[in-house]
Amino acid sequence: MTEWIDACALDDVEEEGVCRFDHGGRSFAIYRMTADEVFCSDGLCSHEAIHLSDGLVMDYEIECPKHSGVFDIRTGEAKRLPACVNLRTYPAKVEAGRIKICVG
């Protein structure tokens, strides 16, 4: 069964922004690109476990704040070294002004 988890209000994340969401002992990064286009990935960089919520989002990519590795937020693909292991991504949606993610 698919379980959608209420993560945050849509307004909690700026357009082309990211926020951290912790749930079940895990950290997630929630991204907002446009008014209601949202994405979710693992919240820690696969290179050195730095929180991506402190990184820069631009053009559907997140840049890690420590060593500037880059990931595609839609697919989790590692796009620039030193990041070479892809992030896991999760379904995300906007419902009644809230961002919900499916991590099951």
pTM attached to this predicted model: 0.94
Closest CA to 47 of 18, 89, 80, 90: 80
Give the residue extent of every domain in the chain: 4-102
> In this structure, which long-range contacts are made by residues 77-80, counting pairs with CB atoms below 8 Å and at least 24 apart in sequence?
78/46
Residue percentage of the chain with pLDDT more than 70: 99
pLDDT at 19 over 90: yes
Confidence of residue 1 (pLDDT cuts 50, 70, 90): low
Average pLDDT score, the chain? 94
Q: What percent of the chain has pLDDT over 90?
A: 86
**pLDDT, mean of residues 16-32:** 96
Residue holding tokens 């099951």?
104
| pLDDT tens-digit readout, 27-70 | 999 999 988 899 999 999 999 889 999 999 999 999 999 999 99
What would the CATH number be for the domain defined by 4-102?
A: 2.102.10.10
SS3 87: coil
